[in-house]
Structure formats: structure tokens, C-alpha cells
Chain A
Amino acid sequence: MSLLSTWLGKSVQGSLRLAGRTGGTLPGKVVESVDSRYLARRLATLPHGVTVVSGTNGKTTTTKMLAQVLGGQYRVLTNPTGSNFTRGAVSAIVDASTWGGRLDYDLAVLELDEAYAARFVEQFPPTRVVVLNVLRDQMDRFGEIDHTARLLGRAVAAATGEVVLNRDDPRVAGLAALARVPVRWFGVAPSLRSIFRTDDELHADAPTGSDGGGRGDVAPEAAVELVDYAPGRARFRVGARTIEVALQAEGAHNAQNAAAVLAAALGEGVELDQAVRRLAAVPPAFGRGEAVRLDGRTVVLQLAKNPGGFRLALLSQQARPADVSVVAINDEYADGRDVSWLWDVDFTPLRDTRGPVLTAGTRAADMALRLAYDEVPVAEVVPDLLDAVQRAVRAAPSDGRVVVYTTYTAMWRLHEHVGRRPGVPE
């Protein structure tokens, strides 16, 4: 049955490619519909099992970094960027299998969104589960944030080897009680806590650095702790050692994700110095601080799809203010139809940007209205995404820097058009 299902999936992939389309998740969808146990049977052949990466923000970057770091000593199967439903994982397995049905890998690192992580573990118990954070995002799909935490709790409870949890997010730390295996913590030093606010701190103006409850009076010792961050490099404390790591992905949040990666890699038996070397070589994930060149200008794509992520994206640009900023807000199904979350973001950092601010996307007017209430001047409202980016590029100096903050579907569309051009190091 596995062999037949693999052939079926590969045939779908082949037909799509002949038709000039990429493989996508359709092969996974087809295989899932005819063979619901395919995923579990195939993954059971991996000697080192499966690591699931989940949480609200940072899944894609963390998965990419962890796969690269583990790639130094294991053959790693991973799902392609952003396809974080189970059918994305099935597609990845179909793609990775030989026509003879072999899956020549040691382990898998799979990015799964919160709802699919809970479904996935019913089909296959993962060896390791990494939970990054729980922030409000797409509540039209998940209902409410406490429900999201409960979904992640099911994934944590199913882990058979180890769980890797964020010590500083109380909703994540609270999941430790559900784990039936040891917990390996990652965290950030108290001096950096004000950057990484929890959901409650973000929405209640609670004092930064507050404990937030859920993890008792004494914070557990973190196996890996981020102790210092500057653009391009981060310092971590690992046991008695302090090590510096060069990071290509922009933003303090990616340094926090790197702490999770190091913790998970140590758990998988990777030697620390090797992990650090491989981490430095990881380019930014698609649309997560990735830079492309357009007419001589550097265009940075920053995915921003919920209040917590948007705040960190704005912070990550403060060290180097943009010449022109674009805020592209779509409200397609994959973005979430609801755009009220924009009012939970403080946009006043955009007042300090050097040049004009444009808004774009299906909700360009809504975004301009939001900025008006934060007294950020808006130069132009341009619903058409490509038109907006072209105008921004023309408005920037010839060697200037354009930063595009974008929701999910807007990012995909922009990437189709600008992402194929050669990237530049940031």
C-alpha cells in the first residue's frame, strides 16, 4: 500500500510539473485521501523519528535552521517553507521517497501549525516537540489563544523523547506539566525580556519582565539562553559556556528562535561547536527578513501577520531605518479575514522612518486609516501590490533600502515577482 500511495503521489507531482506548476501540497492531499495511514507508516521507518516545530511565530525560520544544523550529521527530511498542514508533510515524504519506495533519511523536522500539530500527533507520536510561543493570530480559525495553547498541549503530551519549550512564555511553560518526557528549556536573559513580550504583556500593558505566572516562582534553568543580541550576531549561554553566533536572518526574534534550535540540536546529540558553525550558514527563510535587489535598491520582505510578529518586525528595522516603507495587508482566507488585529500593533516606530510610508493590499485603505490614528503620515494608498513596490523602489535613493511589511498572501504574491531575482546579503 505504501508503495502504491507513493507512486500515486509521485504521479500527481509529475503531472503538475509537466503542467509547469510546482509540486505544492496537492500530492499530499491526494495521498491522504486514499491512504490515511500513509504518513504514520512512512515516518515509522525513520530511525531517529520526527521533531515537530510549532507555535505562533517563527516556525518556518526555526524549522529551516534546525534542519540545516541537524544536516551536519543526519539525513534530514523536512517540509517546504510554510506548508505547515499535514498534507504538506505528506507531500514532502512523497517527494523524498524513491520510486522503489525507500525513504533514505534518518529523521524528519516538520513545521506544523497549532491545529495540525494536534492532528499529526494522533497519527504519529513525535520523538521531539519544540514549542516557540503562543500569541494571538488568526482567531477566526483557532477561536481563542487559550484554545491554541490546549492544541499545543496535545502535541507536547504525545512526545516520546523530549520536549523543547520556551521558558519565558507562560502559556508555553505551562505545557511542561503535560509532558511525559524530560523538558529542555530555552530562554532569553532578563535584560532582553522587554523585547520578547508575552501575549498578555502585549495586550494589557503589563510591566515588562513580569513573571506572568504559569511557571511557578522559580524559573527553570534554560539549557540555552540568549544573553545578547545585535544585528547579525547573537550570544548564547549554554551550560558554563558563552558562545557567539553569526546569524543571517534579521531581528532579535530570530536570535530567540536560534536558541530553540540549539536546544533541540543538543538534544539530538549534535556537538555545540558544529551546531554553531552550521547555524551561521543558514540564509533567512522565505520572506522572513530576506532581501532581494530591485533596480539597485535593496528590498527587504518582512512577514508580519499578527501583533507580536509585527512588533518584532518593526523593532528589527530600527537599527537601520528604511528609506521607504510599505505595509501590505491582505485579508484573504490564509491571512485571516479579520483585520482588527492591526489595532493591537503600535505603529509609532514608523514615524521615525526616513522616507515615505505606502500602504498596499486588499485592505490598503484600512491600513492607511490605522496609521492615521497613530499619526504616521501615509504618502500613498496603492492597493495593487506590485504597483506599490515599484513606486516605493522609485521613491528610494538609487542605492536605498525599501522594507515591505506584508501579510501571508501578499508576501507570496510579491515573492512570485521579485523573489526570483538574485538575493543580496543583508
Chain B
Amino acid sequence: MSRVVRVVHLYAAEMNIYGDNGNAQVLVRRLQWRGIGVEVSRVGVGDPLPPDTHVLLGGGGQDAGQAVITDDLAAKGPDLLAMAADGVPMLLVCGMYQMAGHYFAPFDAPRLPGIGLLDVHTQAGPTRLIGNVVADSDFGPLVGYENHSGLTHLGSGVRPLGRTATGQGNNGTDGTEGARVHNVIGTYLHGPLLAKAPAVADHLLAAALDAAGLPPDLAPLDDSLALEAARIARSRPR
């Protein structure tokens, strides 16, 4: 049992475009507002993963950032797989979602291996998929903003996070968005996703409390503003 929930932000410096750091802020505040202790560890290239990681976040990066982390992520892969199998919740966005899969295949270069945490693979696509996304999910409609050229295809070892009502999602053809296995969520949704999806945030936090050996008491918060912002986001043009 732990006194605090440890939020690990993986590659916060290298993979941080599009406000994905906001996901960490959402988790931290939603614990603090409930009087639950929380500490954030920013884990970069060369830093060890804390053994008491209770929830892990990873964001999208530029091509240069992605190249910098490749070797380090491969080294951390076995630990991350073990954590996921133990039920540690994770949210992996865009670039980190791709690298959590089996591989990324560029047009004219050898495949870049991923860590195989999610049964997905990604192929470079001909155009960038850019714009607002609405996806129906077990958590209700999710809103976010996608900006990716990789097309991600799901294997049988994962289920989609949602089905796109607006936008392209994983690959623009099969209507899926994101992937889930254990308590791990991969997604293309920036926003940051958790700000306007309090149900997803609390789903991750419930699993984090479990990983920390803390009682699963998440008192309800007033999320009317988040739901109103999400409602308006759904009405905006692509």
C-alpha cells in the first residue's frame, strides 16, 4: 500500500506537442480535489521507471522527438509490458500510441519497431489526418483533435476505444478510434483528451488507486463545465 498515487509522465520533455501535458494536470487535480495525495514523476530518456508507478501517461511528439526516445523505449519495453499486465493504467496518445504497437512502417525506410504493448501496427499514410474528432465509446462520446499521418490497424488482442462519428480516427477506413487492453488506452485524440472526458480520467484513476493499494473511493466532482465544453466541441466544424 502506498500513501500517494504516483503519476508517471513518460517523455514529458521529448513528446509533448498539443497540450498532452494537460492530461497529467487533469489527473493530479482530480486527485487533489478529492483529498488524495499525488506525486508526479517526469521520466525522460535514461531515467528509470519508478517501481511504484500507479498510472502512466505518454504524449505525441515531433519526428525528431520520436527518434530520440526509440532506443530508450525499447529498453523500458519489458517493464512497461509487465506493468500493463499487472493492471497499471496507461494513456498513450498519438506518437506514443504508435510506438506502443508492434511497429511503424514508413514509406521508404525500414520498419521502426515498437514495444508490442498494444496489438496494433501503423503504416505511413499518403496524407495527414487533421481535425476535430467525435468518437462514441463506453465512456460516452469522446471529443478531441487528431493530427497524424500514420494509419493504425488493430489486431485481435485489442478492442477499439471508440467508433468515429466525426473525423478519421485510427486509419480513416474502418471507423475505429484508439485501442484498449487491460487498463491501457491508446488514442489519437489530443485535447487533452481527459479534460473533456472526466469519465475516462476517473476510469484511469480508479485503476491507479487499485495499483496503489488505496481504497477505490472517488467522490463525485462537479463536471458540468467539462460536459458543457464537450457538448460545444461536438458542435464545432471538423
A residues near B, CB below 8 A? Answer: 136, 139-140, 143-146, 203-206, 331, 337-344, 362-363, 365-366, 368-370, 372-373, 375, 381
Indicate which residue in B17, B22, B29, B132 contacts A139 across the interface (CB closer than 8 Å): B17
Asked if B236 contacts A203 (CB within 8 A), the reply is: no
Using a Cβ–Cβ cut-off of 8 Å, how many residues does chain B contribute to the interface with A?
37
**6 interchain residue pairs of minimum CB distance:** A343-B22, A343-B19, A340-B19, A204-B13, A365-B229, A338-B145
Q: Given A144-B63, A340-B18, verify A373-B131 contact (CB < 8 Å).
A: no
18 pairs of residues in contact across A and B, judged by CB atoms under 8 Å: A139-B17, A144-B62, A146-B62, A146-B64, A204-B14, A337-B132, A337-B237, A338-B145, A338-B190, A340-B145, A343-B21, A343-B192, A344-B21, A365-B228, A365-B232, A369-B225, A373-B26, A375-B29
How far is it, in angstroms, between the C-alpha of A406 and the C-alpha of B117 when the chains are bound? 42
Of the candidates B12, B147, B225, B236, the one having the most CB atoms from chain A within 10 angstroms of its own CB is B225
- B7 CB–A CB distance under 8 Å: no
Give A197 Cβ to nearest chain B Cβ, in Å.
14
Interface SS, A side:
helix
How far is it, in angstroms, between the C-alpha of A145 and the C-alpha of B147 when the chains are bound? 13
Q: Given A143-B128, A369-B195, A369-B226, verify A340-B22 contact (CB < 8 Å).
A: yes
- B199 CB–A CB distance under 8 Å: no
Give A208 Cβ to nearest chain B Cβ, in Å.
15
- B16 CB–A CB distance under 8 Å: yes
* Cβ–Cβ < 8 Å partners of B20 in chain A: 340, 343
How far is it, in angstroms, between the C-alpha of A368 and the C-alpha of B232 when the chains are bound? 13
How many inter-chain contacts with C-beta < 8 Å in the A-B complex? 93
Residue of B nearest to A365 (CB): B229
Asked if A362 contacts B236 (CB within 8 A), the reply is: yes
Other A-B contacts than A366-B196, A366-B229, A373-B22, 12 sampled, CB-CB below 8 A, are A139-B17, A139-B147, A145-B17, A204-B14, A338-B18, A338-B132, A340-B22, A343-B22, A365-B229, A372-B225, A373-B195, A375-B29
- B191 CB–A CB distance under 8 Å: yes
Give A342 Cβ to nearest chain B Cβ, in Å.
7
B residues near A, CB below 8 A? Answer: 12-14, 16-22, 25-26, 29, 42, 62-64, 128, 130-132, 145, 147, 190-192, 195-196, 225-226, 228-229, 232-233, 236-238
Indicate which residue in A144, A363, A365 contacts B17 across the interface (CB closer than 8 Å): A144
How far is it, in angstroms, between the C-alpha of A145 and the C-alpha of B20 when the chains are bound? 16
How far is it, in angstroms, between the C-alpha of A165 and the C-alpha of B6 when the chains are bound? 43
Asked if B22 contacts A365 (CB within 8 A), the reply is: no
Give A103 Cβ to nearest chain B Cβ, in Å.
39
Asked if A145 contacts B19 (CB within 8 A), the reply is: no
Give A310 Cβ to nearest chain B Cβ, in Å.
12
How far is it, in angstroms, between the C-alpha of A199 and the C-alpha of B99 when the chains are bound? 24
* Cβ–Cβ < 8 Å partners of A366 in chain B: 196, 229, 232-233
Residue of B nearest to A371 (CB): B225
How far is it, in angstroms, between the C-alpha of A419 and the C-alpha of B196 when the chains are bound? 35
Asked if A369 contacts B196 (CB within 8 A), the reply is: yes
Give B190 Cβ to nearest chain A Cβ, in Å.
5
Indicate which residue in B16, B17, B26, B236 contacts A331 across the interface (CB closer than 8 Å): B236
Residue of B nearest to A374 (CB): B25
* Cβ–Cβ < 8 Å partners of A373 in chain B: 22, 25-26, 29, 195
Residue of B nearest to A370 (CB): B195
* Cβ–Cβ < 8 Å partners of A338 in chain B: 18, 132, 145, 147, 190
